[in-house]
Amino acid sequence: MILSVSHVKKAFLEDEVLKEASFHIEDRGRVGLVGVNGAGKSTLFKIIAGLMEPDSGLVTLQKDRTMGYLAQHEELSSNEAVLAEVLSTRRDVFETEQRMRDLEHAMKDASGEALENLLRQHSALQEAFEKENGYAVESEAVGVLKGLGFTEESFTLPMNVLSGGEKTRVALARLLLTKPDLLLLDEPTNHLDIHAMEWLETYLMNYPGAVFVISHDRYFLDRTVRVIIDLTQGVTSVYQGNYSEFIVKKRAVWTARIREYEKQQREIRHQEEVIAKLRSFNREKSIKRAQSREHLLERMERIEKPTEERDEMILRLTPNVTSGNDVLMIEDLAKSFSGRTLFSDVNIDVKRGEHIALIGDNGTGKTTLLRIIAGQERADRGSLTFGTNVFVAYFDQEHMDLHPEKSIFSEIQDEHPAMNNTEIRNMLAAFLFTGDDVYKRVGELSGGEQSRVALAKLMLSDANLLILDEPTNHLDMTSREILENAVISYEGTVICVSHDRYFINRTADRILELYGGRFLNYIGNYDYYTEKNELFHTLFAEKEEKKSGVSEGSLDWKLKKEEDARKRKAENELKRAEQAVTDLEDKIRVLDETMADPANATDAEKLIALQKEKTMAEEALTEALALWEELMQNM
C-alpha cells in the first residue's frame, strides 16, 4: 500500500464537501476518482497533495515514497524554452553530469593517491548517473513532449508565448519526467488531441509507479484504471474494475439499497399499524405492548432513501420535419489560413440518419469544416449543397447564441413564446435545471451549465441536421450519458467534432478522420476506427507516394467492402446461433414428450437417461442463448 486516506472530512462554511473519504491505493495501483461536477474531487486531491488541510481525518503516504500532482488548470510561469523547462525538473542529473566532467578534467593533472580518490568519486557519480538514466534524460523528455502533441519546432518556443492548454501540457510533461512513486492527475486529458490521449494511456499503463486520476474521459478510464473510487454526496465508495464495469456495479448496488429501503419502509408501516391497533384496544397490556413496539421503532437504524440516479432521465431529440435522403453534398472543398492548407479536395456525401464524427489532431481544421457547413465561415474553394427540407442547428464551443444578461427561463421563453411555463420548466428539468435555478442569469453559469442551456435550445429547434462542436465539454459524466442517449435515439442527421472517444464510440456510425489534409472515411464507430486506421493510413500513404490513382472513393470502397464482409459474417453467425437455439428447443420438447409417454413410465433406466440428456440440452440452450444475445448486441 502506497497511500492511505482515512476518515477525511472537509467543509467550506455550511457546505460539507467531504463527509467520509476512506480508501487506500496499492503499489502500482491504477485508480480513477469519479463524481459529478462540484462533488469535491479536486478538493480531495489537494488534501492528498498537502495543498489543503482536512478538517479531520488522515492522509498517509508510505515512507520514502514520492508524490507528483498535476492540477486541472496548471499553468507554468516561466521564460524558459519548452524543452529547457521540462529538462529543468532533472537538474540534479545534469549537475551530476557536470561534476563528472569536472572530475574528468581534474584527472588529467592528477596522479597517485589523488588520482585514485578522483576515480572513486567519479565511479560513485557515474553509478548514480546511470541509476537515474542520465544518458537518456534528454531523449526521454523529447519523447514525452512529442507524445503530448508538441513538435520539434515548438521545443525552442518560450513558455510565455504558449496558450494555457499548452502550458498545462508542459506541466504534465515535467511531472511525467520526474517519475514519482504516485502520480496524482486531475483531468490530464484536457487539452490533448486523440493521438496524445492514446499515447498517454499507453504511457500510464506501463508506468512503474501508482496512478490516481480524475477524469471525465470514460474511454481513458476504461483503458487505464482497474479500480474506481466514486465520490457521491461527500462519501467515497470503492469498486473493482474499469469505468464500464463500475457503471454496472453501481447500478446493482443502488438497486439493492432501494430494495432494502423499501423493505424497511414496509416493516415500519406494518409496525405502525400494529401499534395503532394495540392502542385502539385501550387495555393496559395492549398499551404496554404498543409502547414496547414504539421503543423498537425509535431504536431502529433508519435507512436513508438512495438518491435516484440522474441518468434515468431520458431526452428525446425528434426533428419536426424529415429531410430528404440526400442531406449534404460537399464537393472539392478547400480551406487555408495564413498560407497553411487545412484541407483540400474534400468530397463528402451525407445521408439522412447518419451520425458522423470528425476526428483528427488539434488545429487540423475540424471545427473550421463545421463552421463552413453551419454558414459561419466561407471556404476558399468548392461547394456545399443541402438536400430538400434540411434545417441546420449549430452547437459551438463558445455558446455564441446565448445572451449573458437573460435568465435561463427567458432564454427559452423568448425564442419559443408559444410554450407555457410548465412546458419550459419540464424541458429545463430534463437538462437538470429545477426550482429557482431556472431564473439564474446565463452570464453567471459555469461552462457546463451554459452547455446544457445551449443543448436545451438545440433540442427545441426545428433542425434535422445537428452540427455539434465538442458538445460534451464541461459536462459531467451523468450529463454526458444523458446527451449520448439523446443523440443515439435522434432520428435526424448528426455531424460532430469531439475528443470524447466514449461519446463517439456510442453515438457515431461513421467516422471521418482529417489526415494529411484529406478526410478518410470509416464505416463504423470509434472501436472500428482504431482497428482499421493503420491499414487506412498505409493505403493513403501508397496513394500519396506512388500516385497510383487510388482515389479516396476507392479507399472508401475498400473499407466498405471490409465492413460489408464483417456484417455478412456477423449475420451468418447470428443465423447459426438462432438455428442452434431452435434445434435445442425442439430437442427439449421431443425429450419432454418422450418422458411423458406412458410406454416409458415404468422404464426407470430410460427415464434417467432421458433426463440426463434433457439437462445437457438445457445447459447447451443457455449457452446458445447467451451467444445469440452477444451477437445481437454487436450487430
List pLDDT tens digits, range 225-257: 999 999 988 999 999 999 999 989 988 888 888
151: exposed, middle or buried (Cβ count in 10 Å: 0-12, 13-18, 19+): exposed
The letter for the amino acid at 394 is Y
For 585, 620, 623, the CA distances from 580, given in Å and listed in that order, are 9, 9, 10
pLDDT score at 632: 65
> Around Cβ 251, how many Cβ atoms within 10 Å?
13
Q: Which residue has the higher pLDDT, 407 or 136?
A: 407
Cα–Cα distance measured from residue 483 to residue 148, given in angstroms and rounded to the nearest whole number: 29
Percentage of the chain exceeding pLDDT 70: 93
Share of the chain above pLDDT 90, in %: 38
Output the pTM of the full model: 0.70
Binned at pLDDT 50, 70 and 90, residue 435 comes out as: confident
pLDDT per residue as tens digits for the range 510-562:
999 988 888 899 999 999 999 888 888 888 777 766 654 445 555 555 566 66
How many helical (H) and strand (E) elements, i.e. helices and strands, does the chain have? 19, 18
Q: What is the pLDDT of residue 127?
A: 85
In contact, 509 and 524? CB cutoff 8 Å: yes
Do residues 211 and 191 touch, judged by C-beta distance below 8 A? no
Average pLDDT, the chain: 86
343 grid coordinates: 484541407
Strand pairing report for 465-469 and 392-395: parallel
User: Rounded CA gap, 451 and 437, in Å?
Assistant: 15
Q: Is the CATH number 3.90.420.10 carried by domain 326-535?
A: no
Compute the average pLDDT of residues 456-476.
85
- The DSSP bridge partners found for residue 4 are 24, 60
pLDDT of residue 311: 44
Q: Which residues contact 575 (CB under 8 A, 6 or more apart)?
A: none
Domain extents for the chain?
A: 261-308, 326-535, 565-633
Average pLDDT over residues 182-205: 91
Q: pLDDT tens digits for 29-83? A: 999 999 988 889 999 999 999 999 999 999 999 999 999 999 877 767 778 899 9
Highest mean pLDDT: which of 307-311, 601-605, 629-633?
601-605
CA distance 109 to 89: 34
The average pLDDT across 245-272 equals 90
Confidence at 450, pLDDT banded by 50, 70, 90: confident
Instruction: Grade residue 303 by pLDDT with cuts at 50, 70 and 90.
Output: confident
Mean pLDDT of the 177-200 span: 91
Encode pLDDT of 317-350 as tens digits.
Answer: 678 788 999 999 999 999 998 778 888 889 999 9
From CA 173, how far away is CA 146, in angstroms rounded? 10
φ and ψ of 187, to 5 deg:
55, 60
Closest C-alpha among 460, 499, 506, 465 to residue 484? 506
Per-residue pLDDT at 507 exceeds 60: yes
Q: Which 8-state DSSP code applies to residue 36?
A: -
Question: Across 87-91, 117-121, 267-271, 475-479, which has the greatest mean pLDDT?
Answer: 267-271
C-alpha cell at 630: 452477444
Query: What Cα–Cα distance (Å) separates residue 48 from each residue in 184, 429, 459?
Result: 9, 36, 41
Q: Tell me how far apart the alpha carbons of residues 353 and 487 are, in angstroms, rounded to a whole number.
A: 11
Sheet containing 340-351: order of strands:
340-351, 326-337, 381-386
User: What is the chain's Cα-based Rg?
Assistant: 32
d(CA 510, CA 504): 9
Those residues whose C-beta lies under 8 Å from the C-beta of residue 111, and which sit 6 or more positions away, are: none
* Alpha carbons 606 and 628: distance in angstroms, whole number: 32
The C-alpha cell 425429450 sits at 591
Q: Give residue-wise pLDDT tens across range 371-388.
A: 999 998 999 999 999 999
DSSP 534-596: HHHHHHHHHHHHH-----HHHHHHHHHHHHHHHHHHHHHHHHHHHHHHHHHHHHHHHHHHHHH
Q: What is the pLDDT of residue 314?
A: 58
What DSSP state is assigned to residue 360? Answer: -
pLDDT of residue 36: 84
